[in-house]
Amino acid sequence: MPLKIIEHNSKEYQQMLGLRMEILRKPLGLSFDEADIEKEKDDVCIGAFEDGKILGCCLLTKLDDRSMRLRQMAVTNNSQRNGVGRVMMDFAENIARDLGYKTMVMHARKTAIGFYQKQGYTISGEEFEEVTLPHFLMFKNL
């Protein structure tokens, strides 16, 4: 399963937006606008592909000189629980480490906490709400 860094406004980028829409936004009645897209032009976009189809994606956003934030982690419904998420996390962490970042953080949906804990992440602080869902801040030292 090839993992790639996705160029902005490429064909793969459009595939990634489609996946994020289907898995993360549509179920909540949300979509993307131009401002969302513009904001992520400096992010590292990561995709997992098979036979030209996108199976999973995530984004890395610089928080400060030490910390990267992982965002928009999504795997297609048919490919979940097959190891795609884990492989993407390893890839994303290696990229952040190679760029010199020391910590990865994320706003994890409560339903995905068990997944991140299996990748070595720890909860920090209290539950909060984002996009109408309960979340926790999680982090890992790289």
Residue closer to ligand COA, measured from CB, 92 or 108: 108
E strands in 65-121:
67-75, 103-109
Residue closer to ligand COA, measured from CB, 41 or 81: 81
Minimum Å gap between C-beta 59 and ligand COA is 11
Minimum Å gap between C-beta 62 and ligand COA is 19
Residue closer to ligand COA, measured from CB, 8 or 86: 86
Long-range (24+ apart) CB contacts under 8 A made by 91-100 are: 91/3, 91/46, 92/44, 92/46, 92/58, 92/60, 93/140, 93/142, 95/5, 95/44, 95/46, 95/60, 96/60, 96/68, 96/142, 97/142, 99/68
Pairing of strands 67-75, 53-62: antiparallel
Measured in whole angstroms, the distance separating CA 113 from the mean position of its chain's CA atoms is 13
Minimum Å gap between C-beta 8 and ligand COA is 22
Minimum Å gap between C-beta 7 and ligand COA is 22
Residue closer to ligand COA, measured from CB, 9 or 117: 117
Binding site for ligand COA (CB under 6 A): 23-24, 73-75, 80-86, 108-109, 111-112, 114-115, 118
